[in-house]
Amino acid sequence: MGNTSCRYVINAVGKGGETYLTHCQDKHALRKWIADHEDKLVMNELKIVDKKKHPFLKLFSLKR
């Protein structure tokens, strides 16, 4: 196995009930994936996890 570190994990729900789970290495790839799939996704159900974010900062960045 090589260096397959991914930074962002995307969990999304499609308009037809599909579930999307994918990984992106950087913010550019993340934005490209969202732009390519925007018409298929329910944007309110889009969840993006930054795996390299400091755990202490995760406590203060809760979005609702």
Domain ranges within the chain, ordered by starting residue: 8-50
The answer to whether the CB of 28 falls within 8 A of the CB of 45 is: no
Over 50: is that where the pLDDT of 17 sits?
yes
Which residue type occupies 44? N
Tokens of 44: 């309110």
Q: For residues 3-10, give the mean pLDDT.
A: 82
Residue 61 pLDDT exceeds 80: no
5, 48 contact by CB (below 8 A) = no
